[in-house]
Structure 1
């Protein structure tokens, strides 16, 4: 396991969780993630990526929501847990993310190679 993998796992554990509204995918769209996070996701064809991008969607968004929910990137996990990325439907955890953890996530994103999901 690489240092980035360990850091991702550590950060994931510190992001509060909450239940999204069933069927909602209002936060799902084109985002960037680290190469390490992308390596954890199934590969999609260029045609699938292009089609999703044309719809301003995520290539991993399926008919019933996120198809990679357990492995979704850090940026996806942040939605709804911080005032900077609020849930459009008002869902949120009981306790929002610690600002220091959020800062660590943004620092991780800045120091790693980011690719379009």
Structure 2
């Protein structure tokens, strides 16, 4: 069931091009257990290093190493006024408010873990 919801939401979050090399939105985030299970496992040391730098353990020199499987929260950055891009980048059409509300409800209803 959650897998279907995640797929549904992913299809409805608009995309846009970020500034190459920018990782300003890549910080410690939480995600559902199901989304987390799709990501490669990181060591405790990798998680600790990411937390110390207020970064994501899946962020590398050339960007997000899990971009195609990135969690919903990561996909939301820049697509809603609540999570704006610090550089003003955005899609032509922002996310539908009802879909955003449904995503936030999904966050509340599912177990969230630190990426």
TM-score grouping bracket, smaller chain normalisation: over 0.9
Q: Which runs of 5+ in 1 are unaligned?
A: none
**What TM-score do you get using the length of structure 1 for normalisation?**
0.97
Matched, 1:98 2:93: no
Query: Stretches of 4+ moved more than 3 A in 1?
Result: none
Pick from 62, 65, 72: which aligns with 1:64? 62
Shift of 1:30: 0.2
- The separation in 1 between residues aligned to 2:71 and 2:25, in whole angstroms, is 13
Equivalent residue, structure 2, for 1:86: 84
The equivalent residue for 1:13 is: 11
With structure 2 as the length reference, what TM-score do the two structures score? 0.99
Per-residue Cα deviation, 1:52-109 (whole angstroms, up to 9, x for no partner): 0011000000101111000000000000000000000110000000000000110000
The CA deviation at 1:112 is 0.3
Task: Measure, in 2, the Cα distance between the counterparts of 1:5 and 1:40.
Answer: 11
Q: What RMSD over aligned residues (CA atoms) do the two structures have, in Å?
A: 0.4
The aligned length equals 115
Task: Find out whether 1:25 has 2:20 as its counterpart.
Answer: no
